[in-house]
Structures are given as C-alpha cells and as structure tokens.
C-alpha cells in the first residue's frame, strides 16, 4: 500500500506564532515535554494526505497537548465557522499545506488568523533536530504494513520520539543520514524492517503486532490505569469514504486509551476486547470508542424478542451474548463521512466542557396527545432536569408547536424528543432544519431515529452526541429509558457511556422480572429487552457533561451510602452495610389522562401499576434503581443483600468484573425514608425472588 508512502519522522513544523502580544515556537526537548506555552491555541491543520494526517495529529498531540486541533475541511460551512467563533479568544494558527483557493484568511474564516506555518516532508532534515533534541529512540516502520503503521504511530506518540515511515523507493543512504541526526537514539525497527541489517547491530526489533502491543502495554503499565479502549478497523477505507482508522493513534493518545485493531471484516470486535482484557493493564477498561462507520464495524443483529415489523434488532458490538447478562461496557461510536468532521465534533465537546455557561434543556413530548403514558414519563424527565439546575423548556401534547420547537432548538445544551417518528421526520421536516446548534446532547426517543440520514445533520450542525434506536420501540419503554439515562447523567454525574449502560441495565433487570415473575406472565415481555439492546450512543462515551449549579430550591435525591465492617460470622470476613436515603420531598404530582405518578428525585418509572387501582385511575408505582460500587468486594465472592424490607420488594444483580451491583426496589410506602441492607459475601450468588405487582400496557410509538 502507498497510503503512507514516503518518509516522515514526526511533525516537521517551524515558525513563530504571535497572539495576545506573546509569541511561541513549537518545540520538543529530549524529555518529550512541550516548551513554554504562554497560552492555548486553536490549530488548523492541513495535511496533504493520510500519511500526514496520521503522523501530524499524533505528533501535535505530544507537542501541543493543551491546544485544540482541527483538520482543514474540504469545504467551508456555517457550522465550521461557528466553532471558530466559539473559540474566538484563542489564536487561530494554520499549519500545513494550504492551496491558493483555501488560503486561511480572515475574510474566509471570519476571524483573525495567524501566519501560516508551512509543513513539507522535504524540510525534515533541518527541522527534526528542533523538534526532537535528544530522543532515546527512533521508530521505523514500512509504509506497506498498514496495521503496524497505526500501532507504530501510537507507540511513537507514547514514547514521544520520531517516527520514520519507509516505502520501497527510499534509499538506504537517506535512512542512514536521517538516523545520524540523532547518533544516540537507538532505532526501533517494526515489522518487515526488523529483519534489516543495514542499520547495524545497535537496534531493537519488533517483528509482529504482538511485539508492538507488548511495548505499548509496558508503557501503560507504568502510568495511570487505562479506562478506555479505541477500536478501529485498519481496512475501513475499503468500505467507502475516508479512513477513520487513521485517527486511531491520535484519539488513543487524547483519551489515554489502548488502540485495538479488528480484522478486515470488522467482525471480531468483542473477541479483540476480550483478548485485550486478559492483560492486567486493560482489565479496568470499561469505556469503548468505536471509531468506524457502520460498514467497517457493523452492528450486531438478533431476532426481535417481541413480534413486530422489525425482524431483527441492531445493536452495538459488546452487547451481552446472554439475555440475562448485564451490560459491562460503556460504548459509543464516532462516525462521519470525513475525518475533519470527527475533530470538529470533539472540539465542540471540549468547548462544552471547558466553557460551561448557564445550562439549558428542552423536553418535547407527545405532540398530538396520543401517548399519555409516555408523556407521564417525559414530564418527570423535565422535572429532573430543572431540579438539577437546567433552565428547562417543556412542550407537551398540544403545546408542541413545530415552529417554536425549531426556533428554540439552537439555544439548548440538552434536547429530549419523545414522540412519533413520522411526526418529527415527515410532518416537521426535522432532517431539513439547518440552523447551527450549540454543542448539545440530543436524545431522540422515537422509532427508527438512529439512522445516518437523520443523525448526521444533527452532528454537522453542532450536536456532540446523539442517543437513539434504529428499531421500533414502545413509547412507554423508551420513556423509561430516557428518564433512567438522564438520571445517570444528572445525579450520578456519569459519562454518557456510563449513563447509557446504567439505563440499559435498568431495562434489563425490569425485563427479566416481567418475563419470569409476574403472576400471569408479562405482556409484551420482550419490549424492555429490545430497548436495552437497541438504544445506542453516537458520540464519545467518555464525555461527562458539565453540571450546572444546583438551585437553592433543589430537592434532595435518592442516594446510596455504604459502610465496611469486619465480622467473624462472615465466611470472607467482610460485611458491607448500605443505606438508601429516600428524601421526604417529592416532585409535584404528574397526571396525564388516567396516569398519575409522583417521584422522588433520582427515582424511576417503568409503567408499573399499583395494585387495586380503578379503571379510571392508573397510579404508576415508583421504582428505585441504584448502581452500587463495591470496591472492597472480596475477590471471588458474590454479594447477597439482606434487609428488613420484604424480599418481594427488591432484587439485586452483581457485576463481578467491575465490582459493581445494581439494586432495583420499590419502597413499601411514600412515607418510608430509609432502607438498610446488610451485604454478605458468599462463594456463589443466591437468587432473590422477584414477585411484583401488575404492569401498564404501553402504547406503541409508531410500530
């Protein structure tokens, strides 16, 4: 392959950038640390080809770790210019090879621009010594070995040393001349080059992928724990569009992640992750970024667990194989037609985190007033957002005006849409809206919402992440998911991936109860399982939304507290005592048609009806669902929860790998303010009974 043809050794840049009365020079010392940086900068990088993209982004991340990096887009758009304005307080520094008609001028970009720093590979001879003063090693790899090029770029970035990419036409004398620039730097030969002898005996050789991965693991072992895995398909260019795998080494460095490579078909994602977690360095990793389009790393499919128009349900890789297994990984996908779109999306995300402003949210639900159970759930989602400090705009039923919805959308940080698919897409023409958005999280709780023609316009316009499902779902189950997902974001301050995982496990536990423990059997028993499979995040799963200031009148939330005690009676010698604090204050009563509900903050709803209700009144039973970390869990033991609360009121599932459990319960009464559990550890899990009251029958979304 000629995709990395030529010779490159790190980023070959020189020049002086001025801004705010100060000047700086990109330079790396032998330690690999960046030189003095008076201020942060916005770097607009124009690579000539994939080779430049791979090495340039990786090296810029090492040299300028605090700067915001963008790739020069193929064409300008109002959304690109909007981001440049959002970062207007940072000097805009163009780097690379710009064509005459794409010159980075103030008239074109709409803001002040620093002088261009040219970058041409032919300048490497005179510039490398300025970038890498005394590197300990040089990493050399053949351009024809695409997988090894990705891994070598990641390794060079972690070692903070130059990378030489050599093709078949490169003369040996040229390679020797480059290496002589750093006579004390020991060459590290990767792949086919490891069999070469022309560089002498003072070299280190890594023949195979496993050898390079072992070096990378050794570096990770000496640093902070790795919590994230970046998964790419090195052959993704064969599926059409620009290769996103080229961004893998850069993203792995950005997220302190391990870079994992699938087979050319992208069909072994779960196997690759399992193999990586055999190593202690990656055992704590539970966030997975899928950096690939839907063909290069295809979703899984399974038979629909409930009769409907969809024969199969699409879900992301790493969905549990067994229907009874918990979701272990916080998974999100980054995909776009162009690589520049990915960097634009992540730059918006960074702006959202670093420049928090008064946070605004909008909840739009049940236009047409035909989904009353859904609206009952949506109103509680709006109450939760407002209780946590979001300036919340709520539109329900006949209040929903598509023109006002469209007018208000650009000013929101969180957007929740819940309603019929055809209303949003066909009646409102949602896909054709073009107004630039603030960096926002968008939840499209509607049938068939998570499809590229519907979601990519949102991501281009400014959304940093979109959550939805590509299959048909019941509106009540979808509303239960949305409430659980937002509560994870708002009260547990989880990342988007963690909140998605928690909401999926809530639906999973609820689905298992419905299928196995309802007295007459569960109606629509597969609806919750289907939603747990189908809801997906297109965005960075490691993103944690900045929390707004809590209002003075905020109501306290349901919380879990745990204490650790020693006990001679315990088989393992460890007993935990946990308490669920149920605040006295609840949200206001919500009544929609016959459905009535009242929740404490951070509680859940799932269409569960109280016993003894009349046909004219359907009171929804509040649920408590908590994710409980148990870091002191004895190795090899499993917990069993004991409480004065009758066993019919609660159930518990444990994830031994993450040392974390999920507790689902219903209080005996609204007057109950505390539930205490004794957590005993045993060699094997003892199943708890799951008898519950009856359930409501939700209306379908658009199925």
* 211-228 per-position pLDDT tens digit: 999 999 999 999 999 999
Structure confidence by residue, pLDDT tens digits, 358-384: 899 999 999 999 999 999 999 999 999
Structure confidence by residue, pLDDT tens digits, 466-521: 999 999 999 999 999 999 999 999 999 999 999 999 999 999 998 777 766 665 55
Query: Which pLDDT score, from 0 to 100, does residue 22 have?
Result: 29
Question: Which residue, among 620, 206, 192, has the nearest Cα to 374 in the 3D structure?
Answer: 620
Instruction: Indicate the fold that domain 359-539 takes in CATH.
Output: Rossmann fold (3.40.50)
The mean of the pLDDT values for the chain is: 86
DSSP bridge partners of 231? 260, 290
Q: Which residues contact 581 (CB under 8 A, 6 or more apart)?
A: 556, 558, 559, 560, 561, 673, 674
Evaluate if residue 14 carries a pLDDT over 80: no
Residue limits of CATH 3.40.50.1460 in the chain: 359-539
Query: Which pLDDT score, from 0 to 100, does residue 120 have?
Result: 62
Contact call for residues 484 and 466 (beta carbons, < 8 A): no
Q: How far apart are CA 530 and CA 681, in angstroms?
A: 33
Q: Which residues contact 532 (CB under 8 A, 6 or more apart)?
A: 327, 481, 504, 505, 507, 508, 511
Collapsing DSSP to helix, strand or coil, 241 comes out as coil
**What does R_g of the chain's alpha carbons equal in angstroms?**
27
CATH architecture of 559-682: Sandwich (2.60)
* Residue 117 confidence class, pLDDT cut points 50, 70, 90: confident
Asked whether the CA dihedral 270, 271, 272, 275 is positive or negative, the reply is positive
List of long-range contacts for 113-117, beta carbons under 8 Å, 24+ apart: 114/17, 114/18, 114/19, 115/15, 115/17, 117/13, 117/14, 117/15, 117/17, 117/26, 117/93
Evaluate if residue 565 carries a pLDDT over 80: no
pTM of the complete model: 0.91
Q: Which residues contact 569 (CB under 8 A, 6 or more apart)?
A: none
Contact call for residues 117 and 93 (beta carbons, < 8 A): yes
Burial class (CB within 10 angstroms; exposed 0-12, middle 13-18, buried 19+) of 145: buried
Of 74-78, 128-132, 315-319, least confident by mean pLDDT is 128-132
Query: Which pLDDT score, from 0 to 100, does residue 143 have?
Result: 86
The per-residue DSSP string of 121-188 comes to: GGGHHHHHHHH-SS-SEEEEEETT-HHHHHHHHHHHHHHT--EEEE-TT--HHHHHHHHHTSTTSEEE
Q: Name, of 24-38, 552-566, 584-598, the range with top average pLDDT.
A: 584-598
Evaluate if residue 426 carries a pLDDT over 90: yes
Query: Which pLDDT score, from 0 to 100, does residue 669 have?
Result: 80
Structure confidence by residue, pLDDT tens digits, 150-198: 999 999 999 998 888 887 777 788 788 778 888 888 999 999 999 888 8
Structure letter (DSSP) for residue 389? T
Query: Which pLDDT score, from 0 to 100, does residue 26 have?
Result: 40
Query: Which pLDDT score, from 0 to 100, does residue 149 have?
Result: 96
- Average confidence (pLDDT) over 555-568: 77
Structure letter (DSSP) for residue 536? E
- What angle, 0 to 180 degrees and rounded to 10, lies between the N-to-C axes of helices 339-354 and 78-86? 30
Q: Which residues contact 382 (CB under 8 A, 6 or more apart)?
A: 361, 363, 392, 394, 416
Q: How far apart are CA 596 and CA 592, in angstroms?
A: 7
Is residue 480 within a helix (H) or strand (E), and if so which, with residue range? Answer: helix 475-490
Residue 318: left if φ>0, alpha if ψ -120 to 50, beta else—which one?
left
Question: Which residue, among 10, 23, 9, 28, has the nearest Cα to 130 in the 3D structure?
Answer: 28
Q: Which residues contact 301 (CB under 8 A, 6 or more apart)?
A: 312, 313, 314, 315
Q: Give the number of other Cβ atoms within 10 Å of residue 440's Cβ.
A: 25
* Residue 589 confidence class, pLDDT cut points 50, 70, 90: very high
Query: Which pLDDT score, from 0 to 100, does residue 523 have?
Result: 64
Q: Are strands 674-682 and 68-71 parallel, antiparallel or unpaired?
A: unpaired
What CATH number has the domain spanning 224-298? 3.40.50
Contact call for residues 419 and 430 (beta carbons, < 8 A): no
Contact call for residues 535 and 467 (beta carbons, < 8 A): yes
Query: Which pLDDT score, from 0 to 100, does residue 286 have?
Result: 97
Query: Which pLDDT score, from 0 to 100, does residue 671 have?
Result: 74
Query: Which pLDDT score, from 0 to 100, does residue 415 have?
Result: 98
Structure letter (DSSP) for residue 213? H
Q: How far apart are CA 25 and CA 345, in angstroms?
A: 27
Phi, psi at 208, each rounded to 5°: -125, 170
Is residue 422 within a helix (H) or strand (E), and if so which, with residue range? Answer: helix 421-422
- What angle, 0 to 180 degrees and rounded to 10, lies between the N-to-C axes of helices 209-221 and 146-159? 20
Residue limits of CATH 2.60.40 in the chain: 559-682
């Amino acid at each position: 392959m000629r995709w990395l043809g030529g010779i490159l050794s790190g980023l070959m840049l020189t020049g002086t950038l001025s801004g705010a009365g100060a000047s700086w020079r990109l330079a790396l010392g032998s330690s690999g640390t960046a030189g003095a940086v008076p201020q942060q900068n916005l770097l607009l990088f124009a690579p000539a080809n994939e080779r430049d993209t791979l090495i340039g982004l990786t090296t810029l991340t090492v040299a300028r770790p605090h700067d915001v990096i963008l790739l020069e887009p193929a064409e300008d758009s109002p959304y690109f210019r909007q981001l440049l304005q959002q970062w207007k307080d940072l000097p805009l520094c163009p780097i690379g090879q710009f064509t005459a008609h794409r010159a980075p001028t103030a008239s074109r970009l709409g803001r002040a621009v620093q002088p261009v720093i040219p970058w041409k590979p032919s300048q490497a001879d005179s510039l490398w010594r300025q970038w890498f003063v005394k590197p300990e090693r040089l990493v050399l790899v053949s351009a024809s070995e695409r997988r090894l090029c990705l891994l070598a770029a990641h390794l060079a970035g972690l070692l903070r040393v130059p990378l030489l990419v050599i093709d078949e036409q490169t003369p040996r004398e040229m390679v020797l001349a480059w290496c002589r620039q750093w006579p004390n730097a020991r060459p590290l030969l990767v792949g086919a080059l490891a069999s070469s002898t022309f560089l002498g005996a003072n070299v280190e050789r890594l023949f195979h992928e496993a050898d390079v991965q072992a070096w990378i693991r050794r570096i990770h072992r000496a640093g902070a724990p790795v919590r994230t895995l970046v998964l790419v398909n090195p052959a993704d260019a064969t599926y059409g569009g620009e290769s996103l795998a080229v961004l893998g080494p850069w993203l792995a460095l950005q997220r302190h992640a391990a870079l994992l490579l699938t087979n050319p078909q992208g069909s072994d994602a779960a196997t690759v992750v399992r193999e990586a977690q055999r190593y202690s360095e990656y055992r704590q990793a539970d966030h997975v970024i899928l950096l690939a389009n839907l063909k290069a790393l295809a979703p899984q499919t399974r038979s629909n667990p409930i009769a409907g128009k969809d024969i199969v349900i699409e879900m992301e890789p790493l969905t549990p194989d067994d229907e009874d297994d918990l979701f272990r990984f916080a998974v999100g996908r980054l995909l776009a037609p162009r690589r520049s779109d990915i960097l634009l999306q992540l730059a918006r995300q960074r702006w959202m985190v670093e420049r928090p402003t008064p946070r605004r949210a909008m909840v739009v639900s049940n236009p047409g007033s035909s989904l009353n159970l859904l609206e009952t759930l949506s109103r509680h989602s709006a109450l939760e957002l407002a209780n946590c400090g979001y300036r919340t705009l709520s539109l329900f039923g006949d209040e929903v005006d598509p023109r006002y919805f469209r007018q208000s959308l650009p000013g929101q940080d969180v957007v929740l849409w819940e309603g019929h698919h055809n209303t949003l897409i066909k009646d409102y023409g949602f896909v054709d809206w073009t107004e630039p958005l603030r960096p926002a999280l968008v939840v499209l709780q509607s049938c068939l919402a998570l499809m590229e023609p519907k979601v990519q316009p949102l991501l281009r316009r400014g959304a940093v992440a979109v959550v939805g499902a590509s299959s048909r779902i019941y509106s009540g189950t979808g509303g239960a998911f949305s409430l659980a997902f937002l509560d994870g974001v708002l009260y547990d301050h989880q990342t988007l991936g963690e909140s998605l995982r928690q909401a999926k496990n809530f639906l999973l536990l609820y689905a298992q109860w419905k299928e196995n423990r309802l007295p007459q059997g569960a109606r629509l028993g597969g609806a919750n399982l289907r939603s747990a499979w189908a809801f997906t995040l297109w965005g960075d799963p490691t993103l944690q939304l900045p929390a707004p200031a809590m209002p003075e009148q905020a109501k306290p939330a349901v919380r879990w507290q745990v204490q650790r005690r020693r006990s001679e009676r315990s088989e393992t010698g460890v007993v935990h005592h946990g308490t669920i604090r149920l605040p006295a204050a609840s949200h206001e009563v919500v009544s929609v048609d016959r459905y009535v509900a009242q929740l404490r903050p951070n509680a859940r709803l799932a269409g569960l009806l109280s016993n003894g209700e009349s046909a004219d009144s359907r009171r929804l039973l509040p649920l408590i669902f908590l994710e409980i970390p148990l870091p002191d869990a004895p190795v090899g033991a499993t917990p069993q929860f004991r409480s004065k609360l009758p066993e019919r009121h609660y159930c518990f599932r444990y994830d031994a790998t993450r040392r974390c459990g999920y507790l689902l319960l219903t209080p005996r009464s609204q007057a109950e303010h505390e539930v205490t559990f004794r957590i005993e550890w045993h060699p094997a899990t003892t199943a708890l009974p799951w008898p519950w009251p009856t359930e409501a029958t939700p209306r379908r979304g658009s199925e």
